[in-house]
Structure 1
Amino acid sequence: MWPSPADVGAVTVVSQTETSITLTWDKVDGIATYDLFYNDDGTNKTERIDRPNGDQVQYVVSDLTAGTLYTFTVFTVDSEGLRSNGRTFTAPTAPRNIQNLKAVSQSETSITLQWATVDGIDHYILVSDGRETTIDASEVSHTISSLTSGTEYSFTLFTQFRNVRSSGAILTAVTAPRNVQKVMAVRQTETSITLQWEKVDRIDRYILVFDENETIIDASEVSHTVSNLMSGTEFSFTLFTEFKNVRSSGAILTAVTAPRNVQTVTDVSQTETSITLQWDKVDGVDRYILVSDGNETPIDASEVSHTIPDLDSGTEYSFTVFTEFSNVRSSGVILTAVTVPPMVESVTAVERTLTSITLQWRNTNTAWTYQLEIEHRNETVDVGGSLGDVRETVRDLKPGTKYTFRVITVFEHKSKPYEVVTLTVIDCQSINWQITSTSIQAAVDGEFTKATLQNETGSPLSVRQSVSFTGLYPGGTYKIVLEYERLLQCDHNLTVSPSDPVGRCEYEASGYSIGVVWDEPLGVCTQAEVNVSGSKNLFDCGERYGVVGGFQPARTYQVSLVLLSGDARSQNTFVFDCHTDPRGVIAGSVMAVLIFIILVCVALFIFIKRPDIIRRNKTFTGRSKRSTATTKAIPASKFQNHFSTLSLDNNKGFRQEYDHFSLVSADQPQKVATQPENKVRNRFSDVLPYDWNRVKLTSSGFTESSDYINASYMPGYRNNREYIATQGPLPATVDDFWRMIWEQQVKGIVMVTNCTELGQTTCEQYWPSGRQSRLFGELSVTTISEQQEPNWTLRTFSVKHRNTSEERTVKHFHFTAWPNRGVPQGTDVLIQFRGLMRQHIERDGGRAPTVVHCSDGVGRTGTIIALDVLLQQLENEQAVGINAFVHRMRLNRPSMVQTESQYVFLHQCIADSLKRTEDHIYENDDMIYVNAAELRELH
């Protein structure tokens, strides 16, 4: 038997696909033919391989079934056709690839894959990023986790059978991009909501889903406005990021549109401190918000009005009313409204004339204007609102008539009116005064409630009632004052007729002259008018004797005698016959010459040695019956020589003139000042006011009933009551002092003392320290300014009556460099100080007296008053009468100009004013006389 050929060695499976298996083996020597036997689906198949090339045989078995394990037998066939025993082995085909591989879901960190199942395999192999994952053959999906968001990944999924993999299904998929962060509604209107978010990098776009609609937003945008919405409604928004058509999970935001604004907001009422707003109700809101001056006030949704309290009067405010829904506000409605302006604090009649009244009030806001209503004329005047004091003069009024004025503050609204009732003054000059020697009567056309004669008050009088004062002092000059509730209506000086004269004749000059003697008149008489045969002669009434010359002896002449008091004449003329002396017929000429010479010599002697004897003051200043002679005014051109003359013989002239003052008015009564209840009101027992011209306090508007104060009316340059000289207030009289200031309507106080001097209290401080207020009785005094200078202090006081709320301003001129009973160290500072007070008197003093005081109210007080009057006289007349005016002052108050050094100082002030040279400085009283001696030597 022929032996079988040798079998092939090892057979190697080179590759497997789903339909083929590639085999290879080494050739067997001498064998050119090989047979491959295998079974496919139950069918045995044999394939002949004839004369393969090379040393190895490689053969591909095709048309196989995927995922099938095949048994192969390789036979060698020799040339004789004999087969070998055969080399048998198994090999599977690659399994079928999966179908429909896809990414079914992607998140920021994962991708889930899904595929159709493949039967007859062992498992799946997933390869991604070089990593292999084995998946059970029963699974049809797999999730890959821990991925990076917004990143593209490549996946290959294999099936595996008998360790043979399929060719693999490849899928590219991306993770979902990162969601947006902090998406918010940044602005809401009634019809739109604007969303905003933080930018997300590496995305293709944003997708906004709202109400089932999608809006694509460019990746560069970070905000978007959704429009055409309904007001006051809640909406839900989802914002996605998208990368390669894969969206993020989405950020959800719920937001509301702004509610509808309120409609027709109005200010329905206003007061000085509140405004009430009203609006139409808005449905579907949570509440209203009212904003003003940065303050927010929530208001319940059921309310449609609100009152804002605690506002400033007369001020414009801006209000914004919002509606609010789910903490979202509407755009708001703005309303500007103003409070009612305040009523003016005070209206004062600062000037009243016959036909006009000037009202003044204070304005504190330039936006305010005013209306002035004049009741009696049914007239309204618009007044501008300049800052500060506002003045308005109403003209064409009727004299002596009461008018009611109302001042209304206007600032869109009108304030409550401030009503002031005042009067025009009465035309004193046009009143038909009926004057006798003991009475003054008149019918007055004008309103007043009180008539005062000097300090004697008549009964209250009304319109057209007669003013009647009787029992007056013949020849006296009286001040008639008509008032309406403390308002000065008429201020008029009248001199009643002197008493009727009674006279007789005496022989004089041997019949060539007539001596006329008249009885001492009752009352005041300044001159006697003697008329003989048409020759009018005036004599000093106090002499009670006058000589008229130019007649013949032994003749009879008719004489008429009239007494004068200023310009007033006695009502009746006394007429009588005078017989001249018959003895003068023979030697008339000689004797006349001798008598004339003697008289001239005597007159010259008296004029030189005793000038005070022949100098008489002919000015009536009160009720004093005493009329002591005074010198005439000295012309300015002769004053320096006059000063030198008085300084001769160690100031003998000064001493003689000053000694003469000691007897002036010593007999005038001072009964009221010495009453027991009034003694404690006097600082010094020897400085008391005269009864006839003391200042009387009234009880109107004050609780005090006493009318006494140690104060006297003093004459000035223009009238007899320009000043009030008073003592420095005591602790018990400070209230009385301010009562006097108020009642006399004083606008200026001159103080020429310090409160404490040489360790003693010389005057009680009667004003509050600093910018404070202090109550004196019914009067509240406030220091509103204080200006201190080296030699004086200027203050301004506000004085307010607490019962009537009337307020006035008083200036205070305080000279601080004047020692008690002495004189200042120089004239210049006092002259400058006097200039300040004079400027105030002429500008603001009006007709009210100026109060002047030191400690006792006579020494320094008299000196500063005299200086003020004498400098006025010097300016207006170019002459000055120092002696005459000091004499005149002492008729009104004792001891005025209290020391001789003060009297000399007055002369020095006038001399320095005339010279206008370097200041004279006085160390003490004696220096005045040293300076006077130097001046005498100079001349």
Structure 2
Amino acid sequence: MERVLTLVLLCALSTLGQTVLPNVDKVSILARTETVLTLNWTIAGGNRNYSYTLVREGVLDEQINVTESGDVVTHEVPSLSPGTKYSFTLYTVFGEDRSTGHHFFAVTVPSNVENVNVIDRKEFEMTLEWEKVNNRSDYELEYNDKIESVPTPGGSSVVYRVTPLSSGTEVFFTIYTVFEGVKSRGYNFSRVTIPSNVGSVSVIDRKETEMTLQWERVNNRNDYTYELVYGEKKEPIATQPDSLVVYKVESLSSGTEYSFTLSTVFKDLKSSGYKFARVTVPSNVEKVDLAEQNDTDVILKWDKKTYNYALECSKNPCENISITAEGNTIMCHISGLIPAANYIFTVYTEFFDARSSGFNYNHTTTLSNVTEVGVDRSLTQLTIKWNKLNKNDIYNYTLRDNHGTENNFTGSVMDDEIIHIYSHLTPGTIHSFTLFTVVNDVRSEGYKFKSITTIPCESFNWTVTNSSIVAQVNSSTRVIAENSTGNSKNDPVVDNRVNLQELYPGAIYNVSLWYDLDSEELLQCSHLLTLDPNSVLNLQCKYFSGGYGLAVIWDHPYGVMDVVQVDIGSQSFNRSSNESSRQEFKNLQVAHWYKVTATSFSGAKKSKMESLNCQTDPAGVIAGVLVFFLLVILICAAVYWWLRYGSAKQNKSPKPVDSKVTKKSYKLIPEDKFPEHFRNMSRDENRGFSQEYEDLSSVGIEQSSVAALLPENKDKNRFTNVLPYDSSRVQLTVNDEDNSDYINANYMPGYDNASKQYIAAQGPLPSTVNDFWRMVWEKRSKTIIMVTNCTESGRIKCEQYWPLDYSPCLYGNLVVTVKSENKASSWTLREFNVKDKSTSETRTVKHFHFTAWPDHGVPSGTEELIQFRGLVRQHIESSFSAGPTVVHCSAGVGRTGTLIALDVLLQQLDREKAVGIAAFVQQMRFCRPLMVQTESQYVFLHQCIMDSLQSKGVAKSEPLYENSDMIYVNAIALRQYENGSKI
């Protein structure tokens, strides 16, 4: 029936002039392989009478008859090429007619890659390579549940790096060739990554010929093995069930360094190898010998090997060990050992970090004696004291005297110093002792010593003359006599008799008696004795003051003499040894005979009195008579006036005039009058200067210096006669009980009575350097003027209180650094940085150091000092809010006073056109003793003013001042110089 309908339809179409067959709607790919495509479609128009023609390019038309009973046609196209895209046209055919055709494309499965190579392999990646399939360029790589598209650049092969992977792991791969979205069936293969190295290797046991290594399993994998390579050996190591692998390397050489490479192995792949070096234990020394020993030292020796060595002590510790090589022998010096102690010395050989098991050597030290005993001696007592041996409490001691009596001392219950006192002894007696060291009931051989009690010097009968000291003494073998000039006599005591001859008259001698006991010099006693001074020489008189006076002249005697006392009638004068040997007496009677006596004194000792009868000038008698008659006339006139007028007036007693001591008033000298004043003062060998300076000698000396004389402050004074007055002394801040407020320094006035403009200070001692900087800091001083050198004529004048170089120095709590130093011919200018260590505050201090002032006297000229003062004045005036200017020499009075006076007087001269030198020196001496210490400095000060006026054109042209031996020296200053305290 179906066929009939089809025929009817075809007839109908043919009657229309054209036959149209329907195309299939859709062709599906039911299956595909590399060479076969299985097609599937539904019959066109539902007409099973149709047949089909499949056309593809380059192939004959294929006629397809429908044989299936169903509505679906399945057709297999064989003999195709893999991975090829084919173009098909499927025609519906009926008889001679066919449809327009259904066009479609179909792709065959591409071929697999044939082989895959690994061209690079690492722990966490590998690089694969394969030849392209039919020059196709699309691939997919499947591994570890990942699918990656592989980009393929030009060329015949594909290279692809796979990362990240796990080290030491077998990875399974499948490579698909992809063509038009169709993948090949897949090429399966597996490859292995390189395993990782071990993390570290430990040596858990080490001996001379073997060592045991240990490491953690790599990745905790039990399918890894290991390979250890060292030297020519290669040892495989199987994995172990534990997480740690332990392996013993045997048959090694002692004291040798081995280089190892440990590789991890997985499926014949080895890691890069963990490289390490380890050493075996060195062998012990074979023998140790004792080379030398004493109580506290041992020297051991042994044969040298190519090792290092160490030594340790057991039982008793030892710290001081020195090991040296001498040829083929090793010498080990062990010092600081405890006497009478057992030691086990262990000698180790060392090679890198490996140490041998050690060779033991037993040794017992001997017991030493106490080697030093101190004895404090007095008239009736000997105090024996010694320190514990090695400060160790294990020692006990036994002290035996010359009577055999023993005293025992237990070291563990005594202080570090052990003391025993023998009392009620006889003065001047010798005593013998033996001190034993005792340890573990073992007694040393004993330290023997002697001592002697002292004697009382004052009990002997000393006979003293002007050149000798004689006395009968006991318990002495030698006598030493020293005077203040440093001269000394050192004589033996023969038959207990002291006989010192040819001594210095008037000198104070410290006489010391000594006893030489077993090569030890022991002081028995000391005694101060003053020799009688010599009498004055060539005592004579000369007329003076027109008959109303006498000038007494004498020669100073040989030896020490403090003063010469000269007496005429009721007049008495003292002249010191430093003053001229001339004394003038005034207000005497004309043409009158006087007995003149002269006695020299040294302390309380006096010489034989020298006397002379002298007559005043008789030429004054005539003048005296005339004066007498004139007085008579005046008296008569006065009596007449009183008789006539006195009754008419009331008698009134005059009021008493108050008498009090005041400062002497000195007038200012105008600058235009100063040259004439200078010439007048210079006449008769500077006589005017001498008289004026002598008037200043006692200024201020009545003031107290209590603080300077306190026991804790005495050692802070450079000279015993230069002590700061309490009223003007500089007081330091006291921060704790160890500090003192005392320093040998006084405030000085400045120009126009400005108070505390300067600080006059002595040159620092070693013990007062910190106090000096503390004063500079606390008083906020920005300027230090130094007018001395640290050492002059071989004597230390001042301690250097600043750093020797540019390295900072700590003085107390202050850090001082030299910032700069500029030297000129006569001075050096420095700049210091001063920092408070507690607060970090830093200040700048200028240091002006005048170096051309000679040890004794004054500079050779005034010009350089005047220029130096100008530099100082310029800096002072430019310093804002600065404290006092610190000025010092050695004692802080002579050169210091001259410099301060010059600075102030030049200011006065500039502002007032007048100058008062004596007045200012007097003012300074009320603040500190001996300011402008010598007369030569006083004259030099006047010369500086004179030369300053000359430079201004006020004075006539005269040569600059030159130092001269003709200048008088102040009596007080010269006496100080004679006593060794010249400033």
Which category describes the TM-score, using the shorter chain as reference length?
0.3 to 0.5
Q: Which has the larger radius of gyration?
A: 1
